[in-house]
Structure 1
Amino acid sequence: MMLPTHALVGMALSLPVAVAVPELAPAAILGGFAGGVLPDLDLYAGHRRTLHFPTLYPLAAVPVSLLALVRPEPATVAAAFVVIGAAAHCLMDIYGGGLELRPWEGTSERAVYDHVSRKWRRPRRVVRYDGSKGDLAISAGVAVPLLAFVEWPLLALIVIALAVGTVYALLRRRLASLAPIVFGAVPEPLEQYVPERYSEE
């Protein structure tokens, strides 16, 4: 799924804490946002493998969340939602399309690499691909309660994420056609950082 969806879901997961304990709302919401974004920082370095841990993040979420319950402080709550958001991100990617330039074609059987089993989890394609109508619907669906409960300036994060997601969804298929052209013009010393799927014809 697209990055804005992951960011919004991470933030939405923090809403119960944010509403119940308003003084911890900024830490919880920002933690969820950071966790939702974190795994995709590997986009140009082994995407869906380097920072994606579909088994380890959920396991790590248990002790970190317990610590936040025992010591509910901004740092512990933020840390808990970073891990929870990252766990949700990796699990969501399994239910999306494969790791390929045009995931709507369904040619890849790689969704997320599982470091515990040392193999790729296959894509379930419940949401056909990142930027699909279904993906955008999830973004919009989780944005609604966030827009109702979150205050400025954190509200700006939600509006920006939803706007970026909408534009991306509208342009997604065109971007797949442009990627080989754009990344084909990358200078030779930087070619090693271009994911293989971006040079697909």
Structure 2
Amino acid sequence: MLPTHVLAGMLLAAPLVRVAPELAPVGLVAGFLGGLVPDLDMYTGHRRTLHYPVYYSVLSVPALVAAAVAPSALTVAVALFLLGAALHSVADMYGGGLELRPWEGNSDRAVYDHYRETWVAPRRGVRYDGAVEDLALSVGLSVPLLVLVDPPLRAVVIGTLAVAVVYTVLRRRLAEMAAAVIPLLPSSLDPYLPERYR
């Protein structure tokens, strides 16, 4: 679930609050964006177009070294963005598959591994995005952030947590609504719909 990913990305910057407080805001924002960006492919090859579990992970290593050796707003931002995107892409392997109703467990596709040129099967540690355990992860990730961050970013954490709660409440209904609405759309829109909606 996107709220879980962005909260996890932000939490990656938590050590900066104590070690380099002047760089913490940029790190928190970069981690948030790193957790967000992979899901911008939601309607264009979801979990394949912007999800790179291997490449983000590999690129984050030299970026983290650069941030440690020469800490600046730029090096910290790049490192935490890449680390947040890597965490998001890898974490998607541990959720449900790519299907309209992932709680049914019919998909064998969790995230695409561009390095091996194959889909990684879902491990379902979290049954699906929007499941109760996904919300529990969001709550768990938000608690230390609420303690560590200042009011402007605290509002972002609270807002993200609110989105997670609403999404969890509505998750199954959203799938049913999509299943009811998609057949009513003109067939000319079919090429623009995610495969899981067809």
What's the counterpart of residue 35 of structure 2? 36
Q: What is the 5 A alignment of 1:148-163?
A: 148-163=147-162
TM-superposed deviation, 1:19: 2.7
Matched position secondary structure for 2:151: coil
Aligned to 1:94: 93
Q: Distance in 2 between matches of 1:198 and 1:66?
A: 42
In 2: Cα distance, 1:55 partner to 1:10 partner: 17
Partner of 1:153: helix, strand, or coil?
A: helix
Corresponding residue pairs, total: 198
Counterpart-to-counterpart distance in 1, 2:41 and 2:106 = 22
Residue by residue over 1:142-172, the C-alpha shift from the partner in whole angstroms, topping out at 9 and shown as x without a partner, is 1000000101211111111100000000111
Number of the residue aligned with 2:45: 46
Structure 1 residues 26, 186: CA separation in 2 closer, same or farther (over 3 Å shift)?
farther
The percentage of aligned residue pairs carrying the same residue is 55
The letter of the residue matching 1:159 is: I
8 Å CA contact retained: 1:19, 1:149: no
Q: What's the TM-score once normalised by structure 2's chain length? A: 0.96
Q: Which structure 2 residues correspond to residues 112-127 of structure 1 after superposition, within 5 A?
A: 112-127=111-126
User: Mind listing any 5+ residue stretches in structure 1 that lack a counterpart?
Assistant: none
Provide the TM-score with structure 1 as the length reference.
Answer: 0.94
Q: Report the residue type matching 1:143 in the other structure.
A: S
Structure 1, residues 78-102: CA drift from partner, whole Å, max 9, x if none? 1111000000001110000001111
Q: Give the deviation of 1:186 after TM superposition.
A: 4.5
Q: Distance in 1 between matches of 2:158 and 2:181?
A: 28
Name 2:103's counterpart in structure 1: 104
Say whether 1:181 aligns with 2:144: no
Displacement after TM superposition at 1:180 (Å): 2.5
SS of structure 1 residue aligned to 2:119: strand
* Aligned 8 A contact 1:34 1:82 in 2: yes
CA contact (8 A) 1:103 1:128 kept: yes
How much does 1:18 deviate?
A: 2.6
Amino acid at match of 1:14: A
Does residue 73 of structure 1 match 2:100? no
Mapped contact 1:183–1:198 kept (Cα < 8 A): yes
